């Protein structure tokens, strides 16, 4: 029997393509949750997200299914050595049925979100191997909760609390809705739009960062030139004052001292300009 898994692992493939080249594939993103599945060739593939379950993943669940397995999952977590085996098992047929019901029941969402759900449903139907189970692994996500029961309660509330579900439904479509998956990118127009949107935003943010760097450099150059002009004026003023005092022979020692200071500042500015 094969499974769809939710687990913690490495940086998502989609982000690896969008992040700078110095972002290593071995970079460990904290509390990544994975939705792994077997494709028609029984190869293991994955959806990815961080710290929470995307709401479309939750729509394949049901309260009955959660309640049937709640005790087993809690027991697995209490026995820490078995925590990695605390998994919520969902037959793919039930997952498809639950998601189909949501597709028919919801009418208040944006067209983009409806399209994303429909494409996710079609993906499960056509790309995931038949007669397999979906399996949600809570082994690291659980550390965000004081007790495993809190996570399960939250998942059940998503199924029963209409206000909470409505809040999810009103959210703007983002990767939080579905997670990351390069295979799904080829399958889904709504997902491709998210990827392009992310690339554009990344370029904008990169441009803003470059502007900040350039502005900082410009301010530094302006300050450097202002300091140079100020010292040059001081040097000239001291030099002229020293020469006048020497010419007038009023304060010979003072004139020499002032002229010397002016010359020292002038020499400093000369070498500073040269460097």
Mean pLDDT over residues 79-98, rounded? 81
186 or 261, which is more confident: 186
Does 233 share its domain with 161? no
pLDDT band (50, 70, 90) for residue 28: very low
pLDDT band (50, 70, 90) for residue 20: very low
Range of the domain at 159: 3-198
Q: For the segment 183-237, what is each residue's pLDDT rounded down to a tens digit? A: 998 889 999 999 888 887 777 666 565 656 666 776 777 777 777 676 666 666 6
Tell whether 117 is covered by a domain: yes
Does 22 share its domain with 68? yes
Tell whether 207 is covered by a domain: no
Q: What is the pLDDT of residue 213?
A: 62
Does 30 share its domain with 109? yes
Does 172 share its domain with 226? no
Does 186 share its domain with 145? yes
- Total domains present in the chain: 2
Q: What is the pLDDT of residue 87?
A: 81
Distance CA 18, CA 11 (A): 11
- pTM > 0.95: no
- The alpha helices in the chain, defined as continuous H runs, are 13-18, 55-58, 63-78, 92-105, 111-127, 148-160, 162-170, 175-178, 182-187, 189-248, 252-274
203 or 124, which is more confident: 124
100 or 249, which is more confident: 100
Tell whether 14 is covered by a domain: yes
Whether the pLDDT of residue 14 is over 80: the answer is: no
Distance CA 207, CA 141 (A): 34
202, 157, 195, 201: which is closest to 173 by C-alpha?
195
Of 127-131, 151-155, 163-167, the one with minimum mean pLDDT is 163-167
Domain boundary, last residue among 198, 232, 265: 198
């Amino acid at each position: 029997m094969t499974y769809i898994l939710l687990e913690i692992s490495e940086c998502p493939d989609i982000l690896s393509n969008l992040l700078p080249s110095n972002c290593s594939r071995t970079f460990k993103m904290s509390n990544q949750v994975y939705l792994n599945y077997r494709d028609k060739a029984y190869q293991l593939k994955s959806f990815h997200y961080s710290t929470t379950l995307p709401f479309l993943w939750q729509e394949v669940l049901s309260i009955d299914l959660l309640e049937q397995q709640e005790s087993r999952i809690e027991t697995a977590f209490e026995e820490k050595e078995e925590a990695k085996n605390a998994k919520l098992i969902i037959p793919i047929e039930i997952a498809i049925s639950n998601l189909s019901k949501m597709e028919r029941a919801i009418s208040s969402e944006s067209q983009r979100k409806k399209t994303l759900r429909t494409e996710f449903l079609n993906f499960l139907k056509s790309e995931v191997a038949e007669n397999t189970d979906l399996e949600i692994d809570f082994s690291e996500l659980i550390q965000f909760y004081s007790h495993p029961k809190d996570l399960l309660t939250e998942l059940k509330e998503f199924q029963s609390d209409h206000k909470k579900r409505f809040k999810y439904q009103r959210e703007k479509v983002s990767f939080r809705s579905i997670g990351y998956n390069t295979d799904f990118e080829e399958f889904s127009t709504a997902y491709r739009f998210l990827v392009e949107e992310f690339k554009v935003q990344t370029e904008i943010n990169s441009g803003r960062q470059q502007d900040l760097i350039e502005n900082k450099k410009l301010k530094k150059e302006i300050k450097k030139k202002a300091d140079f002009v100020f010292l040059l004026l001081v040097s000239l003023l001291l030099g002229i004052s020293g020469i006048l005092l020497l010419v007038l022979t009023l304060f010979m020692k003072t004139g020499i001292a002032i002229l010397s200071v002016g010359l020292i500042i002038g020499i400093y500015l000369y070498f500073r300009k040269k460097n």
